[in-house]
Amino acid sequence: MPLALLTGCQMFSYQEPAGADTATVTFTGDTSAQPAVCVPGKGFKDTQMALAVKPWETNAFDKLFQTMKKGEEVTVSVAASERARVGLVYNEARAAGGRDRCRVAAQFDARPGERYRAHFTRTDTGNCGLEIRGEDGVRADAVPVDWHCPD
C-alpha cells in the first residue's frame, strides 16, 4: 500500500513536455524556493527539484542537495506558448513562530527552442519578485500575474 501512495503523490508534480514545441526555463534565486509551472486546466505544478542556496561556497552540500532534490538551479522544459506561466513559492518558518510566505508568478512568450532564466528575489521587507530573461541576458516581455493557471 505505501508504494501506491507514493506513486499517487508523484502524479501531482510537474511532468515536462517533450518535443520540438518546448522551451527551457532555468530557475535561480537569492533564497530557497519551490519553482512551479502552469499546466493549463490543472493549475500550477511544483517541479521535482526545489531551489536551494548554499550558506557558503563549498561542495560539501552537493550530495545533501541531491538527496533532498534541491539545487542552486532548477531547469525544466515548458510547452512553447505566448502565455507560458511560471512561478515560485517561498515558505519559511520564522524564528519567532509562524511562517513567512509568498507566491510570485509571471507570464511570458516562451518560444520553441529558446532558453530562459527565471530569477526569484525576496527582500528583507518580505516582497517577492520574479524576473525572466532570455539566454542572451535580455529581459523577456514577462508580466506579473496572479497565482492562477487558465485553461
Whether residue 9 has pLDDT greater than 70: no
Average pLDDT rounded to a whole number, residues 65-80: 85
- For 60-99, letters b (16+ CB in 10 Å) and e give ebeeeeeeeebbeebbbbbbbbeebbbbbbbeeeeeeeee
Contacts with 7 (C-beta within 8 Å, 6 or more apart), sequence order: none
pTM for the whole structure: 0.83
Q: pLDDT per residue over 29-58, tens digit each?
A: 988 999 999 999 999 999 999 998 766 566
Amino acid at 41: G
pLDDT digits (tens, 9 = 90+) for 92-109: 877 777 788 899 999 999
Distance in angstroms (rounded) separating the CA atoms of residues 14 and 80:
15
User: Please, which residues have CB within 8 angstroms of residue 141's CB and are 6 or more apart in sequence?
Assistant: 108, 109
In this structure, the number of other CB atoms found within 10 A of the CB of residue 26 comes to: 15
User: What pLDDT score does 78 carry?
Assistant: 97
CB 23 within 8 A of CB 13: no
For residue 40, which amino acid is it? P
Question: Which tens digit of pLDDT belongs to each residue from 115-128?
Answer: 999 999 998 888 89
H or E segment to which residue 55 belongs: none
**Average pLDDT value for residue range 51-77:** 76
Domain ranges for the chain, please list them: 2-145
